Amino acid sequence: MANVKLAIIYYSSTGTNYQMAQWAEEGGSQAGAEVRLRKVHELAPEAAIEQNAGWKAHYEAAKDVSEASSEDIEWADAIIFSTPTRFGNVASQMKQFLDLQGGLWGSGKTVNKVVSAMTSASNSHGGQEATILSLYTSMMHWGAIIVPPGYTDQVLFGAGGNPYGTSVTQGPDGKMVEDVQAAVKHQAKRTVDIASKVIGA
């Protein structure tokens, strides 16, 4: 698996998806992949960010994380996306990033990328599954190979048992309700494993 190049591309407002992305980075690295961790560009005005203490704190804490680009998509053999749900869909910041990849798509450079996705919401039925499935719809247009965790390890049940991708509930205190660290790492390792088979590593 040492030859697999894994890009972890996330959007996070208050830090939940950033933490999940970091766990995915650890899992991918443990599986032997070369990993890039990237955030998508923030679209919200600073005035809106300033009004939310958690959002402002995370915005400042993640300032040094490199922003995702088309080059990261082209470079990667495998990609793990992590985004909060917004009304059952991906956050607009993530959606814009995907929409900007038309050039890569048009030139066939998204074909056979191995992809997986993760998400969060403020309650367990707040659109978590719909968000991941919405992102996977875009990946079908890309010609990507979707790798969900399914029920390939017992750790997934402790994390809520979402077969489409790891999802977590963010409680009123801003902390994760479920313990999803092991599930995220398993999903990352599985993504790397399948990518290694696809690229013939």
Would the pLDDT of 1 be above 50? Answer: no
Give all domains of the chain, ordered by start, each with its CATH number. 5-199 (3.40.50.360)
Average pLDDT over residues 113-136: 95
Average pLDDT over residues 110-119: 98
In degrees, rounded to 5, the angle at the alpha carbon of residue 40 between the alpha carbons of residues 110 and 156 is 75
| pLDDT at residue 201, as a whole number | 55
**Helix (DSSP H) and strand (DSSP E) numbers for the chain:** 9, 7
Residue 130 CA to its chain's centroid (Å): 14
Q: Is 85 helix (H, G, I), strand (E, B) or coil?
A: strand
Average pLDDT, the chain: 95
**pLDDT tens track for 156-177:** 999 999 999 999 999 988 899 9
| pLDDT at residue 5, as a whole number | 98
**pLDDT tens track for 75-96:** 999 999 999 999 999 999 999 9
Indicate the burial class of 109 (C-beta count within 10 angstroms; 0-12, 13-18, 19 or more).
Answer: middle
| pLDDT at residue 124, as a whole number | 85
| pLDDT at residue 2, as a whole number | 54
Would the pLDDT of 133 be above 70? Answer: yes
What is the H or E stretch that residue 184 is in? helix 181-199
Would you mind telling me the total number of residues written for the chain in this entry? 201
